[in-house]
Amino acid sequence: MLWDALTFQLGYNATLVAIGATLLGISAGVTGTFLFLRKRALVSDAISHATLPGVCLAFMALVALGGDGRNLIGLLAGSAVSAWIGLLCMNWLTRHTRLAEDAAIGAVLSVFFGLGIVLLTVIQTMGVGRQAGLEGFLLGSTAGMLWADALIIAIGGAATLMLVMIIRRPMMMVAFDPEFAAARGLPVHRIDLAMMGLVMAVTVVGLKIVGLILIVALLIIPPVTARFWSERSDRVVLLAGLAGGLAGYLGAAMSASAPNLPTGPIIVLVSFGFFALSLLLAPVRGVLAAILRHLRFQRRVHIRQGLLALAQGQKIYEPLTLRLLRRAGIVRADGVATEAGKARAAKALRDEKRWELVRSDQAHEATAALYDGLRDIETVLTRDQIAEIDRRIGGPQGVLT
Amino acid sequence: MLELAAVQGVSVEDQGIDNSPLAIRGLTVSYGQKPAVFSVDMTVHPGAMTAIIGPNGAGKSTLLKAALGIVPPLSGQVTVYGQPLGQQRAHIAYVPQRASVDWDFPTRVIDVVLMGLSRELGLLGRIRARHMARALDCLHRVGMRDFADRQIGQLSGGQQQRVFLARALAQGADLYLLDEPFAGVDAATEKAIIAVLKSLKEAGKTVVVVHHDLVTVTDYFDHVFLINTRKVAEGPVAEAFTAETLQAAYGGRLATAQIDQISRALG
Amino acid sequence: MSGEEFVPLSLTPLLIGTFAAIACALPGNFLVLRKQALIGDAISHVVLPGIVVAFLLTGVISTWPMMLGAAGAAVVAVVMIEAIRRLGQIEPGAAMGVVFTTMFAGGVLLLEQTDTSAVHLDVEHALYGNLESLIWLDATGWSSLLDWEALAGLPPELPRITLTLAGVILFTWLFWRPLKISTFDEGFARTIGIRTGALGMALVITAAIAAVAAFDAVGSIIVIAMFICPPAAARMMTNRLETQIIWSVVFAITSAVLGYVLAGYGPLWLGSGDAVSAAGMIATISGLILALAAVFGPCRTRAGAPSSA
């Protein structure tokens, strides 16, 4: 069943949904990356909730004009207008009042949504009888999607993607360092608005498939996922598009393969699956890698401190230090240093002296900046340089083992 | 020789721990993979004014914050008057770096100073006339008595710094820790703060200040602690604040001309 | 309007709406000041999965399992947000976005998968509540307030939100000083021995409990308006925290009462027959109050402080 869905053999509607969801996932992932790198991920939450009153008003207007209230283009246009108004409200609140952005986001999100709910109940009492479709915009509803709807989503998604590609450079500069961008003469405020406009476009396009509450997930989760795998912004953008597209495709296929699997939530959960895997397993930024690194680092710190304490005849207070020293064969079970331990302790102290000299000597300034208390001096200086330093320190030689 | 010392655990420095207002042993703090402070020992001399100095990013503030338990250390121990930090909070007052709070917070100057009395007031204790009088007196000592009802965001940087010093005074502590109190303040404020600190010292209190202006060290302080990730030197100004120790702490980062200037100031 | 009509039909929803608004506004003040307003957003989204899981585990729709489930979900969400933020080195907003959307999606999925048609639990209801339905059928007029038999027929939501409000007030009163200090200057709070981590968590749990209790009345999204709008508007009115709290309560009550009345009678005045969503109207009114405060409030702009040294 799932295989059939994945290979587009589950019928016309499922195929439409899968193609639409894939395109949506790609454009949401790519667009969301800029938002995420700008550290304004949750602005998308305000934008998406702010679409609701627009949808309702557009429906009412369409009906009042005698048209079909469910005309997708009309509804999406309405949602775009109200999302844009919500965005302007949010910007105004953060720029002209003492409210921080988080409070402004929350206020716009909840008030616009509340107003939308009021309008929704007004529509329910209008007795038009065809309002059922509007609730679908909350959580998305792909049942009975029409060819025209899919076409709108596909065109909208592709257009957004193209726009993103056109203005990606200025957006990236603003996301990376707004002050530098402003100094370079870029209109930061306008670029921010353009970024938000693109987010809004993705939101509007995605309303039909995943709904306004969950579209946020498509804008946030793939970029966060992609960030684990690369330090280069252009790659993050690509990976986010890939993760988003894949989640959209797999999610839509899975939801088509069994009953009672709503498309929007499944796409979000698949996306989260990718995120969770990345969080745990990514090679550098992943949790497992970080834990291993931290343990190794902590071990190095404790052993180094222990060695220095031994060499200077100081008492070692930390139980963890003693345990690590014992395990490394530096001290015996009773806390007395072994022969090897003594040699290493003497070497550590000697290194410390060498570093001291390096750090107070202007000639070694670049090297001195590398000092972190742990680095072996052999890794930054040549044997000759070390010999030269040892000559200046004086005292016993031959601990360079 | 090595074994003996390790077993008995006696070193010269250990003897000062019991009566030192603040003793730090083997403290390492790391943000990520690079230690900001590495294996630092520090024994603050009671009743002295000590400056913690070192180049930017040398771990001065981190040392203070870790000593106070604001940032978690990777290893090491801190004792305050011979006891673990947790039981000794009442003896310590801390003045944070100025930029670290939200200046738009809805609170007045007097409210900030009253926060210094919160240990005494407990959860629900009412603020009585004597508390108010004490808070106002602390404001008076820093020359901010007339600003008691202002919102803190309406003050200048130097005035804000003085309010935080007043809060520390209200705590009635024995050990005062200040993080860069002179950074970005006007001359009047610097004078006011140093006068208060000197009066604290005369009253037998211990004062530790993270300081960045090398030229004023000899005027203001009697002890110094030089740090650059590791401890460089520690002791009375005359012994520990020398051209050699400065060179060791600042390395190439301090121009030779500056060192000359300071050594001349040192005489 | 006469007591015969007002007491059974409007008194209880009005009280429930008002109490819910206050219970959310109180912790909301601190959330807004801590720049954690969106924690309210996250909490309100995860209430749904919490309640669904509680229902799946117990098989019944009853108050306490649902309260526990939702509070548990809030704690899980906060822990996950913190974990992702720290372990993945991701900014808090994005970490929140990842967690609450995922948990919400999980909740919707579970709801679709289980047969809850027999019980009163559906997504729309969860999203925007049903304040109007919380009526007191046993009441006949003001005299019913003294009639034990009629009082027994009060909608259970009323005692629940009353108890919650009492708890929230108690928490705020008891921990007023540490909350204020740790919100203003967390480093200082730690040096005087306040356990800021535990206190922050307690604040979030309090907010979560308020959100759950308010959930019946106004649904999970509009709760955010209760958390944010009255405190944000109050922020524009004063430079003292004590006064700000009072303003926020006033605004919360105004939104709830005005919102309920307008939703019920506004359409009648406009000549339409049916009422609109009271919860939505309450959020709308709270937004209007915020807008007015943002334009006219005496303390609406940032204090003229040098932002950095």
Q: What residues in C contact A289, CB-CB < 8 Å?
A: none
CA–CA dist B138, A196 (Å, integer): 50
pLDDT tier at B6, thresholds 50, 70, 90: very low
At the top level of CATH, the class of A2-260 is mainly alpha
Q: Are B265 and B218 in contact (CB under 8 A)?
A: yes
Q: What residues in B contact A312, CB-CB < 8 Å?
A: 5, 11
**C223 found inside a domain:** yes
Count chain B–chain C contacts defined by CB atoms under 8 A.
99
Residue in A318, A345, A365 closest to B252 by CB? A365
Whether B12 has its CB under 8 Å from any CB of chain A: the answer is no
For residue C24, the model assigns a pLDDT of 94
CA–CA dist A19, A12 (Å, integer): 11
For residue B223, the model assigns a pLDDT of 93
**C269 found inside a domain:** yes
Q: What residues in B contact A315, CB-CB < 8 Å?
A: 5-6, 8-11, 14
Query: Is the Cβ pair A365, B253 closer than 8 Å?
Result: yes
Query: Is the Cβ pair C88, A228 closer than 8 Å?
Result: yes
Average pLDDT along chain C, 309 residues, taken 10 residues at a time: 73 91 95 90 86 83 78 89 87 91 90 65 69 80 79 83 94 94 89 89 89 78 88 93 96 94 81 79 94 91 52
Domain count, chain C: 1
Residue in C91, C227, C267 closest to A106 by CB? C227
For residue B9, the model assigns a pLDDT of 36
pLDDT tier at B8, thresholds 50, 70, 90: very low
For C213-265, the pLDDT digits (tens) are: 887 677 777 788 999 999 999 999 998 999 999 999 999 999 999 999 998 88
CA–CA dist C103, C109 (Å, integer): 10
Whether A102 has its CB under 8 Å from any CB of chain B: the answer is no
For A153-171, the pLDDT digits (tens) are: 888 888 888 898 888 888 8
What domains lie within chain B, and their CATH numbers?
A: 16-266 (3.40.50.300)
For residue C308, the model assigns a pLDDT of 36
Residue in B26, B34, B77 closest to A372 by CB? B34
**Burial class, A382, CB count within 10 angstroms (exposed 0-12 / middle 13-18 / buried 19+):** exposed
Q: Are A77 and A52 in contact (CB under 8 A)?
A: no
For A272-321, the pLDDT digits (tens) are: 999 999 999 988 888 898 889 888 888 888 888 888 888 887 777 778 88
Residue that has been written with the tokens 């926060």 in this structure: B115
pLDDT tier at A128, thresholds 50, 70, 90: low
Query: Is the Cβ pair A262, C108 closer than 8 Å?
Result: yes
Residue in C173, C235, C305 closest to B154 by CB? C305
Residue in C41, C232, C280 closest to A99 by CB? C232
Amino acid present at A177:
D
Residue in B89, B108, B184 closest to C191 by CB? B89
CA–CA dist A298, A228 (Å, integer): 23
Q: Are B105 and C303 in contact (CB under 8 A)?
A: no
**C279 found inside a domain:** yes
Q: How far C152 CA lies from chain B's nearest CA (Å)? A: 37
**C143 found inside a domain:** no
For A36-67, the pLDDT digits (tens) are: 998 888 999 999 999 999 999 998 898 888 77
Query: Is the Cβ pair A317, B25 closer than 8 Å?
Result: yes
Three-state secondary structure of C53-87:
HHHHHHCCCCHHHHHHHHHHHHHHHHHHHHHHHHH
Whether A97 has its CB under 8 Å from any CB of chain B: the answer is no
Residue in A318, A321, A368 closest to B252 by CB? A368
For residue B13, the model assigns a pLDDT of 46
For residue A144, the model assigns a pLDDT of 65
Most A-contacting residue of C46, C101, C130 (CB-CB within 10 A), to test interface: C101
pLDDT of A396 > 80? The answer is no
**Helix runs in A127-146, H state only:** 132-139
Return mean pLDDT, chain B. Answer: 83
Which CATH number characterizes residue C247's domain? 1.10.3470.10
Count chain A–chain C contacts defined by CB atoms under 8 A.
217
For residue B114, the model assigns a pLDDT of 92
Name residues 66-95 of chain A within 8 A of B (Cβ). Answer: none
* More confidently predicted of A141 and A73: A73
Residue in C104, C279, C300 closest to A214 by CB? C104
Query: Is the Cβ pair A40, C93 closer than 8 Å?
Result: yes
For residue A35, give both structure tokens.
Answer: 């938002």
Name residues 141-200 of chain C within 8 A of A (Cβ). Answer: none
Whether C142 has its CB under 8 Å from any CB of chain B: the answer is no
Q: What residues in B contact A362, CB-CB < 8 Å?
A: 251-252, 256
Kindly list the strands in the beta sheet with B75-80, ordered across the sheet, starting from the edge strand earlier in the chain: B34-43, B23-31, B75-80, B83-84
DSSP states along chain C: --HHHHIIIIIHHHHHHHHHHHHHHHHHHHHHHTT-HHHHHHHHHHHHHHHHHHHHHHSS--HHHHHHHHHHHHHHHHHHHHHHHHHTT--HHHHHHHHHHHHHHHHHHHHHHS--TTTT--HHHHHH--GGG---TT--SGGGGG-HHHHHTS-THHHHHHHHHHHHHHHHHHTHHHHHHHHH-HHHHHHTT--HHHHHHHHHHHHHHHHHHHHHHHHHHHHHHHHHHHHHHHHTT-S-HHHHHHHHHHHHHHHHHHHHHHHHHHHHHTT-SS---HHHHHHHHHHHHHHHHHHH-TT-SPP---S--
| Greatest Cα-to-Cα distance within chain A, rounded to the nearest angstrom | 100
Of chain A, the end-to-end C-alpha distance in Å amounts to 66
Return mean pLDDT, chain A. Answer: 84
C226: domain range? 3-125+173-296
For residue C182, the model assigns a pLDDT of 92
Query: Is the Cβ pair A138, C123 closer than 8 Å?
Result: yes
For residue B15, the model assigns a pLDDT of 47
**C211 found inside a domain:** yes
pLDDT of B26 > 90? The answer is no
Residue in C174, C191, C305 closest to B123 by CB? C174
Q: What residues in A contact B75, CB-CB < 8 Å?
A: 298, 301-302, 305, 318, 320-321
For residue B184, the model assigns a pLDDT of 81
Apex A31 CA angle, A26 and A35, nearest 5:
140
**Burial class, A351, CB count within 10 angstroms (exposed 0-12 / middle 13-18 / buried 19+):** buried
pLDDT of B265 > 70? The answer is no
Q: How far B115 CA lies from chain C's nearest CA (Å)? A: 7
For B81-123, the pLDDT digits (tens) are: 888 888 888 889 998 887 678 888 888 999 999 999 888 888 7
Whether C298 has its CB under 8 Å from any CB of chain A: the answer is no
CA–CA dist A166, C279 (Å, integer): 43
For residue C238, give both structure tokens.
Answer: 């004063």
pLDDT tier at A399, thresholds 50, 70, 90: very low
Most B-contacting residue of A94, A296, A330, A374 (CB-CB within 10 A), to test interface: A374
For A89-109, the pLDDT digits (tens) are: 999 999 899 999 999 999 999
Whether C89 has its CB under 8 Å from any CB of chain B: the answer is no
**Burial class, A395, CB count within 10 angstroms (exposed 0-12 / middle 13-18 / buried 19+):** exposed
* C96-120 exposure pattern, b = at least 16 Cβ within 10 A, e = fewer: bbbbbbbbbbbbbbbbbeeebeeee
Query: Is the Cβ pair C280, A120 closer than 8 Å?
Result: yes
Residue in C33, C175, C303 closest to B103 by CB? C303
Q: What residues in A contact B74, CB-CB < 8 Å?
A: 298, 301
Q: What residues in B contact A353, CB-CB < 8 Å?
A: none
CA atoms within a 13 Å half-sphere pointing along the CA-CB vector of A11? 9
Domain spans of chain A? 2-260, 288-393
Query: Is the Cβ pair B30, A318 closer than 8 Å?
Result: no
For residue A143, the model assigns a pLDDT of 65
Q: What residues in A contact B42, CB-CB < 8 Å?
A: none
For C116-143, the pLDDT digits (tens) are: 555 556 666 677 777 877 888 777 778 7
**C167 found inside a domain:** no
Amino acid present at B126:
R
pLDDT tier at B5, thresholds 50, 70, 90: very low
- Complex ipTM: 0.89
Query: Is the Cβ pair B39, A364 closer than 8 Å?
Result: no
pLDDT tier at A5, thresholds 50, 70, 90: low
The mean pLDDT of B45-74, rounded to a whole number, is 89
Query: Is the Cβ pair B2, A335 closer than 8 Å?
Result: no
Whether C144 has its CB under 8 Å from any CB of chain B: the answer is no
Q: What residues in B contact A313, CB-CB < 8 Å?
A: 1-2, 4-6, 11
CA–CA dist C115, C106 (Å, integer): 16
Query: Is the Cβ pair B11, A298 closer than 8 Å?
Result: no
